[in-house]
Structure 1
Amino acid sequence: MVAAALDHPGLRLTAAELVALRPPARAGRETPASRRPGALASRAPGQGMDLREIRAFAQGDDLRRLDPSATARTGQLHVRSFHDDRDDSTLLIADFRPAMLWGTGTALRSVRGARALARIGWQGVARGGSVALVAVGDGPPALLAAGTGAAQMQAVAAALARVHDAALARAAQAAGRSSGQASGPAQGLAPVLAQARRLAPPGAQVHLATGPEGLEGADAALARLARGRRVSLHLILDPAETAPPAAGLAVHDGRAARHGRLCAHDPLPLMARLRGLGLRVATVLPDDTG
């Protein structure tokens, strides 16, 4: 359970707010071409399940594709041609570790990251694609296998809210401990990314929302994940990082106090390094997600 003091918009993440991000329905939405989640019919001919055309038999055609009706009607062999299936699979990776559970604007960085991922997920199911989820907090990651449709995104929203609630409650408990009982360092992302590789098939889109400090020691795992997949990293930046106050600030750790000024975070070196690993990188500024 989340304490009443934390049960406010921007601090607590709710499934309802993520479901409310669903875009209006559009006409002409693609529907899955097979029972396999995320399979859509492409324009190219191939071995899919959507009929492309019925045409006269040509040398090299598969006789198993003969169309009996057209053959009987014309007296000439005719075969069925099908669209090739393509995968439209999206994996969302949400980082709710302690370093994401802060914010100086209208919402915690973790909440803004979840909102950004939910928008991407809704876009995926609107195309007829599948969406899967990995959400990591201060414990074992929560995994949600790929599925399609609004029901899947409702399950994604519920899982995100549940993991965020648990992470927020643990962070509040840790903050109430004495300095001698402080919890250990947060787990790294590398093991989580290894699990993500098993959830994201080749050709899948992978979207990871985290902060600049959340990628320490994860370069090799990110590079492996990016092989054969389209990996997009969404760096969630707080107003204190993009436009820090000019005045000096007092910082107190429970034992000593210091004064200093915050410097604006420059994400460009990190973005260049990650692009060198094959990732697409974008910053999510405070105004991007509300």
Structure 2
Amino acid sequence: MVSAALDHPGIRLTAEELLALRDTRAPRNGHRPATRRPGAVPARLPGAGMDLREIRAFAEGDDTRRIDPAATARTGLPHVRSFHEDRDDTTLLIADFRPAMLWGTGPALRSVRAARCLARHGWEAVARGASVAGMTITSSGISVLPGRTGAQQLSAVAQMFAHEHDRALEQSDSSPTSLATALVCAVRLAPAGAQVWLATDTQGVAPEDEPALGRLARRRRVMLLCPLDPIEVSPPSRALSVRSGTSGRMARLRPFDPTLLSARMRTLNVTLEAVCDDPS
């Protein structure tokens, strides 16, 4: 339980506000699995599934391991088999609640806004029948919730987000958990073909985290979700006084420029999404 000083909307995160983001207008997904594996849906991703799509003439660039001997012998020309690709439709929501996220100059902390954005993407996954997994990163460690389907699962993720955010607000540990450690764990939670939403600040991915992030993005669609604080979008035009101990100086803030961060992420096969407003 957080102290009374922190128990205010925008500072304290509640499961109820995340559950309220569900779009009741979205149609309920009546999808049934395309194969006998639970959660498998057809998708155009690298790699073949088990269901035969067609046998066709060999073309330059085709994998010779897929040559069909019977069709080749029958026609006298090389023929290959192609298959319907399958994947497990899983969405992993990663909320960074380390100290750098626990601040804000607007109506809500950046950590709270990050959780709201993740919840919206979680509800979108639930609506299409996907499996949803959750992870939080705080100064005290990592909490995970393995993937399952349904609204009840998203409710459990919301409860975990709220609980871990309360703990993060009360923590005073100055040595937060490494993001790389969390990303190694994320590889086990998100199967190949999964979608991963990582909500952190614009400085949340350090150079030493990049190898782990690159491995996570190797066979998954990874989105770096950065909720921008109002002061990063429209900073004051005047110079501000910055003090540290007995020293101080004047500095002028500039709006956040996503160019460099976006370029860094592209080299890792990660997509940057900078968010200026809360989901409505």
TM-score by length of 1: 0.77
Could you tell me which residue of structure 2 aligns to residue 65 of structure 1? none
Could you tell me which residue of structure 2 aligns to residue 120 of structure 1? 121
In structure 1, what is the Cα distance between the partners aligned to 2:26 and 2:251?
51
What do residues 11-50 of structure 1 show as CA deviations (whole Å, max 9, x unaligned)? 110000000001115446233427855333679x9758xx
Conservation of the 8 A alpha-carbon contact between 1:10 and 1:106: yes
Q: Flag structure 1 segments of 5+ consecutive residues without an equivalent.
A: 49-59, 61-82, 175-182
In structure 2, what is the Cα distance between the partners aligned to 1:140 and 1:2?
18
Could you tell me which residue of structure 2 aligns to residue 225 of structure 1? 216
Q: Among the aligned pairs, what percent are the same residue? A: 52
In structure 1, what is the Cα distance between the partners aligned to 2:150 and 2:98?
28
Could you tell me which residue of structure 2 aligns to residue 55 of structure 1? none
Could you tell me which residue of structure 1 aligns to residue 110 of structure 2? 109
Which deviates more, 234-243 or 113-122?
234-243
In structure 2, what is the Cα distance between the partners aligned to 1:156 and 1:243?
33
Conservation of the 8 A alpha-carbon contact between 1:125 and 1:131: yes
In structure 2, what is the Cα distance between the partners aligned to 1:253 and 1:212?
22
Conservation of the 8 A alpha-carbon contact between 2:183 and 2:213: yes
Could you tell me which residue of structure 2 aligns to residue 194 of structure 1? 184
Residues 1:148 and 2:127 are matched in the alignment: no
In structure 2, what is the Cα distance between the partners aligned to 1:108 and 1:184?
19
Summarize the Cα distance change of 1:235–1:20 in structure 2 as closer, same or farther, 3 Å threshold: same
Conservation of the 8 A alpha-carbon contact between 1:251 and 1:258: yes
Conservation of the 8 A alpha-carbon contact between 1:15 and 1:157: yes
Name the count of aligned residue pairs: 244
Residues 1:163 and 2:164 are matched in the alignment: yes
Q: How does 1:1-20 map to 2 (within 5 A)?
A: 1-20=1-20
Q: Structure 1 counterpart of 2:188, which letter?
A: R
Conservation of the 8 A alpha-carbon contact between 2:87 and 2:192: no
Conservation of the 8 A alpha-carbon contact between 1:209 and 1:234: yes
Conservation of the 8 A alpha-carbon contact between 1:37 and 1:130: no
Conservation of the 8 A alpha-carbon contact between 2:221 and 2:270: yes
Q: Structure 1 counterpart of 2:12, which letter?
A: R
User: Residue 134 of structure 2: SS of its match in structure 1?
Assistant: strand
Q: Flag structure 2 segments of 5+ consecutive residues without an equivalent.
A: 52-69, 71-83
In structure 1, what is the Cα distance between the partners aligned to 2:42 and 2:150?
17
Could you tell me which residue of structure 1 aligns to residue 253 of structure 2? 262
Summarize the Cα distance change of 1:272–1:154 in structure 2 as closer, same or farther, 3 Å threshold: same
In structure 2, what is the Cα distance between the partners aligned to 1:278 and 1:154?
30
In structure 1, what is the Cα distance between the partners aligned to 2:234 and 2:24?
34
In structure 2, what is the Cα distance between the partners aligned to 1:167 and 1:234?
20
Could you tell me which residue of structure 2 aligns to residue 69 of structure 1? none
TM superposition shift of 1:188: 2.0
Larger radius of gyration: 1
**Which 4+ stretches in 1 moved above 6 angstroms?**
none
User: Residue 213 of structure 1: SS of its match in structure 2?
Assistant: coil
In structure 2, what is the Cα distance between the partners aligned to 1:35 and 1:160?
32
Q: Structure 1 counterpart of 2:147, which letter?
A: A
Q: Structure 2 counterpart of 1:267, which letter?
A: P
Summarize the Cα distance change of 1:278–1:161 in structure 2 as closer, same or farther, 3 Å threshold: same
In structure 1, what is the Cα distance between the partners aligned to 2:234 and 2:41?
43
Q: Which has the higher helix share?
A: 1
What do residues 156-178 of structure 1 show as CA deviations (whole Å, max 9, x unaligned)? 100000111100111xxx3xxxx
TM superposition shift of 1:254: 5.6
RMSD: 2.5
Summarize the Cα distance change of 1:141–1:269 in structure 2 as closer, same or farther, 3 Å threshold: same
